[in-house]
A and B are shown apart, each in its own frame.
Chain A
Amino acid sequence: MIHSLFLINCSGDIFLEKHWKSVVSQSVCDYFFEAQEKAADVENVPPVISTPHHYLISIYRDKLFFVSVIQTEVPPLFVIEFLHRVADTFQDYFGDSNVGDTLPTGQLSNIPWRRAGVKYTNNEAYFDVVEEIDAIIDKSGSTVFAEIQGVIDACIKLSGMPDLSLSFMNPRLLDDVSFHPCIRFKRWESERVLSFIPPDGNFRLISYRVSSQNLVAIPVYVKHSISFKENSSCGRFDVTIGPKQNMGKTIEGITVTVHMPKVVLNMNLTPTQGGYTFDPVTKVLTWDVGKITPQKLPSLKGLVNLQSGAPKPEENPSLNIQFKIQQLAISGLKVNRLDMYGEKYKPFKGVKYVTKAGKFQVRT
């Protein structure tokens, strides 16, 4: 399986290595650097590279490359998934800077995912239903593709060995579900109830996709007019954003990100709301809108300076939109009840809903 692992930072330093079998020289990473140079950007470094004696399988996370050295046939996803778990563990461990001095003891428990002897004075169980809308909107405003992807993240702080059952008002909405290993698959198949002994702390209970047969309500619309004049070194940029079907909830945390064409030198814009930045190196325009008030729709307009003499861009850039709606699961999914068995105390329970933009792209 995995022979060695190297961690490489964005400036190309190998700052951590681990060998599970014999030691493999760092020089094996030269093949990786070579591939990295060939690739246009970090996103395009091939995850699997073949070298004369080894295979390198790598992932890119949080500006770090995790490069593993493989010697024989192995399912590449096995390695990739593992490396991401390693990265997750790092994130958990170093995430909030208070790195504990005692190391986890790796004790064995009857339930592999839950340590024994958990004790809390306040017993709490919280669930976050987070839904993301993935969409491609074409330039006329009609939806080319839209889909809802959801997750239920749990934060469980319960003493002992609680056995939980979570049921939904409308479980049929969930078209395709993937489970945390703690969930009893058969109960779900037969009763559509999530029955599980939870791990302690934060974890992702399920991920799901809402049946594509349902029409996805798109909560925002975007009016845009982006144009570049032929043989002139300027262009116009005008984007307005508004709420569509907001179901009485405020849309907030709106951000518009645009990768402008390479010939754009600078942008001179005026937002009616929020602030914007344009990075002339990466050509990324970011407009931090905030929340929408329907009375006055936020817009961003102004001039685009182009490199003089260069041909005008062929295609207008796509707009990537981020937003957030609190207290709403856009699919209509609703938790019915949470029951606990196996322990006697009364836990405090809570469910929170939020809808966000996922990969939400407006073609212009």
Chain B
Amino acid sequence: MANNSFAYNEQSGGGEAAELGQEATSTISPSGAFGLFSSDLKKNEDLKQMLESNKDSAKLDAMKRIVGMIAKGKNASELFPAVVKNVASKNIEIKKLVYVYLVRYAEEQQDLALLSISTFQRALKDPNQLIRASALRVLSSIRVPIIVPIMMLAIKEASADLSPYVRKNAAHAIQKLYSLDPEQKEMLIEVIEKLLKDKSTLVAGSVVMAFEEVCPDRIDLIHKNYRKLCNLLVDVEEWGQVVIIHMLTRYARTQFVSPWREDDVLEDNEKNFYESDDEQKENTDKGTKPYAMDPDHRLLIRNTKPLLQSRNAAVVMAVAQLYWHIAPKSEAGIISKSLVRLLRSNREVQYIVLQNIATMSIQRKGMFEPYLKSFYVRSTDPTMIKTLKLEILTNLANEANISTLLREFQTYVKSQDKQFAAATIQTIGRCATNISEVTDTCLNGLVCLLSNRDEIVVAESVVVIKKLLQMQPAQHGEIIKHMAKLLDSITVPVARASILWLIGENCERVPKIAPDVLRKMAKSFTSEDDLVKLQILNLGAKLYLTNSKQTKLLTQYILNLGKYDQNYDIRDRTRFIRQLIVPNEKSGALSKYAKKIFLAQKPAPLLESPFKDRDHFQLGTLSHTLNIKASGYLELSNWPEVAPDPSVRNVEVIELAKEWTSAGKAKKENPAKKFYSDSEEEEDSSDSSSDSESESGSESGEGGQSDEEEDSSEDSSSEQDSGSASELDADDRRDQRNLKTKEKADSEDGHKKNEKSKASVSSNDESSSIEESSSDSESESESESEPDSRKVTKEKERKPKQDRNSLAKDVSLLDLDDFNPISTPVVLPTPALSPTLIADLEGLNLSSSSSVINVSTPVFVPMKTHELLHRMSGKGLAAQYFFPRQPCIFGSKMVSVQITLNNTSDRKIENIHIGEKKLPVGMQMHIFHPIDSLEPEGSITVSMGIDFCDSTQTASFQLCTKDDCFSVNIQPPVGELLLPVTMSEKDFKKEQGVLTGMNETSALIIAAPQNFTPSVILQKVVNVANVGVVPSGHDNIHRFAAKTVHSGSLMLVTVELKEGSTAQLIINTEKTVIGSVLLRELKPVLSQG
């Protein structure tokens, strides 16, 4: 309706633009001064005449122009008397426009407005429901206090109107009257109470909106309508759905007990995966009563689920926040997919959705991990979207995906958008602190950035490095020296201050440099920023205490400068420091402790998400977006300890037919079942869906229909919709004495439901991403990778320099070599300042056109699992393994293997661990942490790393439980011994040219032409082997490249299509053995149909 009036405005506005332009003067003084300008007067005289003419067309024309003026914010109040005369016009078009005018000016011209009231009162009784509704709308929009009693009366009458459309407007009018006169609250609540009972989908949204505005605390009014609202929800219009869902979320938090386990609350983060296990453990341990969800609670969760598929972003978000706040944590996962879908929408929607995901991803990482790549940044994203995505990526980072993410961040750091580049540096810092495996890698990457050309980037890096070094101060002397040199060039105050602080803290580790820095700073002291001055003073004090011989005079000089500084903070600091460190008779006992005070161990800063503190706001709200409590924000209450009486929601139905009773009995088993299996139930009712369509239609139909009709249609439709609730009601009402038995049945339902939901939990777990589980287990594993990586770096150090030069053309910004040692040259962690490093860093900037051979992400990860231990031979313990094709975090030469353990027995399996290993010579294995216990039906996924030495030899080991040991084997398919690399076609040819003769194997393949389409070949090859795709300029040649995990030897695969359904398969590699095995495996696959 609002839209309509817009349309009017613009329509007339277009034609009138020129004329209205002349009126510009009148806008300067919107009221009062009007008559002074003759041209305006004339203009409006013209309008007045048109309004007084006998022709409707002239009147309509005038009204359009007037409404156009209003829309443009021009003053048209002077025309009030002329316009108001037309309020009784028979022409509905004119009438509508007059209404628009009145709504705008009635407040200013109250006396005149009263003249029109009687017209509205008459219109309220008009046989046309549209006229009744719009009369009510205008009446309630006229903000004239005198007519409050008339409005009240009109609302009351309209709330009993036969037309649901008029009743809807009554609900809207309630809010308007309430804002005009809050005194009416009690009477209005009565009307709200009545309208809440309304069964029309048209009314539901509007009355709940009125409820939220007028009496959100009267939760008691909702009880009896709760089930009805849940059942109507799908058919309510979109905007109403949003309001109802938000209200019901608050309701649920006051009426039901928490479906979350206690330990979840404490440790939300990654634990929800094991929820089912914990649940049981808790139950058996403490002997507490098992949790049974109230069927009404379940009803809400179930009935809102389809709305995740709404086209309306606000509805999807509303359901998402409902699941987040009231659904069991194991079920909340379904919202991620829908929220990610919203990211395709316009930037405003993205902004809000990303903010909410940012908050969610802090608490429950697992939910969004499978969608990691959906948060990758595009260079065309607005900065605010980029930074939000970055925030989420940081929250999602874990041991399993960090290598992929760092590679992605590498692109971001080079972004032209410097604000974003700086944010990325912060992010790298956070990843470095959160994931200890990559701390060194990140630190080295950041050190490289210190030679970046952009000052913002350098400054940000300095600040982040400072924080990182603070966490592990030892062994970073070289980096500190490097940063000391930066002081000559860098000008950003924060960065300078950070460097000085760092040198001061570590002055004993760089005993030669620190005094020299102080000397330089003494020279430039007066021209420094205040922030830097303070740090110079600190540095002086620290040096004075540790090395007074060299720095005493310097420090005193600086203190003298500080004494006369213009800034009082600096003068204060100077005085304070002097008293503390320079002993004299006045200085008290404190100076004895000066060294302890200045050089105390300082706690490392916590690099945290800025979204950390937002979770106390209900998601999806304005307050959450602003991180401020907006006015009118309604707090979400904590779950009650004990649920309030659930029977308050039982609805009494007046008439009771005998057939009903029997039907109820016959169906008695049904409701419980229906509760938990949506699809079955939907099938039941779907056959009648077309009927219900027409019936529900008639509810909202023309105003002339009878009450009875409406009732009956409603009854039947609610019956179809959701048998359970209404049938229980019927039972209840049928015999009050049965109440107790019914309640028993209820709780039985609860039990059943609990079991079912558990089953669904575990199945969810299985289907949900494997990455998620791997991260859990990996976080537990100790950092054995460290010694390994160090070994690697040492080896590299030994490599002659010319070797590096050949590779050094392209240097990854972040040293990812912990993961892929050969593909990229190395930025050495220890000699951070060696000349070669500088050379490397220069190389960094020339990278664009030089050759690149990088390990890339897998093109395809087959979901195929292999049996490790069958449940029969494992006495109930079953195990499967799977190759996730991720770089292994336990060691660069290892292949990642994920093992999923299932307990199929009916008792707990304890202490699952790896026993004796029987590995061929040279092979190594990084085992998973022992698992304390696995509940029946429980499942857990753990990660291991195995170095197969580039061979398909079997790794044999024992998988042990508390009582048994089972011998198991892992034999890798040859395709899993590879990591995909990316290279250009030119490089491919070059490398291939080197690997000829002995290093080349080939085979001829014959197959049907349909098997030789590009996509089929690609699919088949990447299914067998973890190879990367090399772009090809020819349609008939397909190239793939990889390197072996252990030795890093290149493995080049070429499929060249020939004439007559044949193709040549060529493999070039130094590793001739696995090369020929791969050829043998690929050949049948490619020729198969």
Let me know if A89 and B379 touch, CB within 8 A: no
Our pick among A26, A187, A221 for the contact of B1031 (Cβ within 8 Å) is: A221
Let me know if B4 and A103 touch, CB within 8 A: yes
Within 8 A of A (CB), among B545-570: none
Let me know if A77 and B5 touch, CB within 8 A: no
Our pick among B246, B631, B683, B700 for the contact of A75 (Cβ within 8 Å) is: B246
CB distance from A219 to the nearest CB of B (A): 10
Within 8 A of A (CB), among B374-414: 374, 376, 378-380, 382-384, 408, 411, 414
- Nearest chain A residue, comparing its CB with the CB of B1016: A245
A80 to B350, CA, bound (A): 11
A318 to B412, CA, bound (A): 12
- Stretch with Cβ within 8 A of B (4 or more), from A15-23, A269-277, A347-355: A15-23
Given contacts A75-B242, A314-B453, contact A44 B383 (CB under 8 A): yes
A139 to B854, CA, bound (A): 11
Let me know if A48 and B622 touch, CB within 8 A: yes
What sequence of 0s and 1s flags, for each residue 1-41 of chain B, a beta carbon within 8 Å of any chain A beta carbon?
A: 11111111111011000000000000000000000000000
Q: Which residues of B contact A106 (CB under 8 A)?
A: 1, 4, 130
- Stretch with Cβ within 8 A of B (4 or more), from A119-127, A143-151, A299-307: A143-151
CB distance from B330 to the nearest CB of A (A): 20
Within 8 A of A (CB), among B1049-1082: none
Let me know if A80 and B313 touch, CB within 8 A: yes
Let me know if B4 and A143 touch, CB within 8 A: no
The reply on B724 being an interface residue by CB < 8 A is no
Let me know if A16 and B415 touch, CB within 8 A: no
Let me know if B93 and A81 touch, CB within 8 A: no
The reply on B682 being an interface residue by CB < 8 A is yes
The reply on B660 being an interface residue by CB < 8 A is no
The reply on B949 being an interface residue by CB < 8 A is no
- Nearest chain B residue, comparing its CB with the CB of A297: B1033
Let me know if B373 and A50 touch, CB within 8 A: no
The reply on B859 being an interface residue by CB < 8 A is yes
Q: Which residues of A contact B344 (CB under 8 A)?
A: 134, 149, 207, 209
The reply on B1029 being an interface residue by CB < 8 A is yes
A74 to B631, CA, bound (A): 10
Q: Which residues of A contact B623 (CB under 8 A)?
A: 73
Let me know if B701 and A140 touch, CB within 8 A: no
Let me know if A21 and B341 touch, CB within 8 A: no
Let me know if A16 and B9 touch, CB within 8 A: yes
The reply on B685 being an interface residue by CB < 8 A is yes
Given contacts A48-B626, A89-B7, contact A186 B309 (CB under 8 A): no
Q: Which residues of B contact A282 (CB under 8 A)?
A: none
The reply on B238 being an interface residue by CB < 8 A is yes
The reply on A181 being an interface residue by CB < 8 A is yes
Given contacts A14-B73, A73-B622, contact A1 B209 (CB under 8 A): yes
Let me know if A77 and B313 touch, CB within 8 A: yes
Given contacts A73-B632, A75-B318, A141-B984, contact A207 B73 (CB under 8 A): no
The reply on A279 being an interface residue by CB < 8 A is no
Let me know if A142 and B349 touch, CB within 8 A: no
Q: Which residues of A contact B306 (CB under 8 A)?
A: 185, 189
5 cross-chain pairs, A with B, having the tightest CB-CB distances, nearest first:
A72-B632, A140-B982, A110-B697, A141-B1031, A315-B414
CB distance from A244 to the nearest CB of B (A): 7
Q: Which residues of A contact B1028 (CB under 8 A)?
A: 142
Counting chain B CB atoms within 10 Å of each CB, the highest count among A139, A176, A315 belongs to A315
Given contacts A59-B348, A187-B689, contact A75 B848 (CB under 8 A): no
What sequence of 0s and 1s flags, for each residue 856-898 of chain B, a beta carbon within 8 Å of any chain A beta carbon?
A: 1101100100000000000000000000000000000000000
Our pick among B14, B318, B341 for the contact of A178 (Cβ within 8 Å) is: B341
Q: Which residues of A contact B179 (CB under 8 A)?
A: 21
Q: Which residues of A contact B1029 (CB under 8 A)?
A: 141-143
- Nearest chain A residue, comparing its CB with the CB of B702: A108
Q: Which residues of B contact A207 (CB under 8 A)?
A: 311, 341, 344
Given contacts A48-B625, A75-B314, A215-B1018, contact A17 B73 (CB under 8 A): yes
Counting chain A CB atoms within 10 Å of each CB, the highest count among B242, B317, B378, B1018 belongs to B378
Let me know if A108 and B165 touch, CB within 8 A: yes
CB distance from A23 to the nearest CB of B (A): 7
Within 8 A of A (CB), among B674-720: 678-679, 682-683, 685-686, 689-690, 693-694, 697-698, 700-702
Counting chain A CB atoms within 10 Å of each CB, the highest count among B202, B454, B622, B1029 belongs to B622
The reply on A36 being an interface residue by CB < 8 A is no
The secondary-structure label for the interface of chain A is mixed
Our pick among B309, B630, B683, B1014 for the contact of A179 (Cβ within 8 Å) is: B309
Let me know if A18 and B313 touch, CB within 8 A: no
Let me know if A112 and B700 touch, CB within 8 A: yes
Given contacts A17-B71, A17-B72, A103-B8, contact A76 B625 (CB under 8 A): yes
Let me know if A145 and B376 touch, CB within 8 A: yes
CB distance from B92 to the nearest CB of A (A): 8
A262 to B416, CA, bound (A): 9
The reply on B793 being an interface residue by CB < 8 A is no
14 new A-B contacts, CB < 8 A, other than A143-B859, A259-B380, are A16-B10, A26-B73, A48-B352, A59-B346, A73-B630, A81-B314, A104-B4, A142-B980, A178-B310, A180-B311, A190-B683, A215-B859, A226-B848, A315-B414
The reply on B234 being an interface residue by CB < 8 A is yes
The reply on A43 being an interface residue by CB < 8 A is yes
Let me know if A145 and B373 touch, CB within 8 A: yes
Q: Which residues of B contact A107 (CB under 8 A)?
A: 130
Let me know if B348 and A187 touch, CB within 8 A: no
Let me know if A142 and B856 touch, CB within 8 A: yes
A50 to B623, CA, bound (A): 10
What sequence of 0s and 1s flags, for each residue 89-126 of chain A, a beta carbon within 8 Å of any chain B beta carbon?
A: 11001100001001110111011100000000000000
The reply on A281 being an interface residue by CB < 8 A is no
Let me know if B1015 and A50 touch, CB within 8 A: no
A122 to B143, CA, bound (A): 50
Counting chain A CB atoms within 10 Å of each CB, the highest count among B374, B625, B678 belongs to B625
A76 to B354, CA, bound (A): 13
CB distance from A7 to the nearest CB of B (A): 9
Q: Which residues of B contact A320 (CB under 8 A)?
A: 380
A190 to B701, CA, bound (A): 29
CB distance from A228 to the nearest CB of B (A): 8
Within 8 A of B (CB), among A283-309: 294
A18 to B622, CA, bound (A): 22
A48 to B630, CA, bound (A): 12
Q: Which residues of A contact B745 (CB under 8 A)?
A: none
The reply on A227 being an interface residue by CB < 8 A is yes
Let me know if B3 and A89 touch, CB within 8 A: yes
CB distance from B1043 to the nearest CB of A (A): 14
CB distance from A152 to the nearest CB of B (A): 12
- Nearest chain B residue, comparing its CB with the CB of A134: B344
Q: Which residues of A contact B341 (CB under 8 A)?
A: 176, 178, 207, 209
A227 to B845, CA, bound (A): 11
CB distance from B945 to the nearest CB of A (A): 24
- Nearest chain B residue, comparing its CB with the CB of A313: B416
The reply on A155 being an interface residue by CB < 8 A is no
Counting chain A CB atoms within 10 Å of each CB, the highest count among B408, B702, B845 belongs to B845
CB distance from A67 to the nearest CB of B (A): 12
A226 to B317, CA, bound (A): 43
A207 to B344, CA, bound (A): 10
Within 8 A of B (CB), among A11-60: 14-23, 26, 40-41, 43-44, 46-48, 50, 55, 58-60
Let me know if A44 and B382 touch, CB within 8 A: yes
CB distance from A224 to the nearest CB of B (A): 9
Given contacts A16-B71, A140-B856, contact A77 B373 (CB under 8 A): no
- Nearest chain A residue, comparing its CB with the CB of B15: A99
Given contacts A1-B209, A314-B452, contact A242 B701 (CB under 8 A): no
Let me know if B72 and A15 touch, CB within 8 A: yes
Let me know if B689 and A21 touch, CB within 8 A: no
Our pick among B130, B312, B415, B1031 for the contact of A81 (Cβ within 8 Å) is: B312
A223 to B765, CA, bound (A): 43
A15 to B348, CA, bound (A): 22
Q: Which residues of B contact A262 (CB under 8 A)?
A: 416
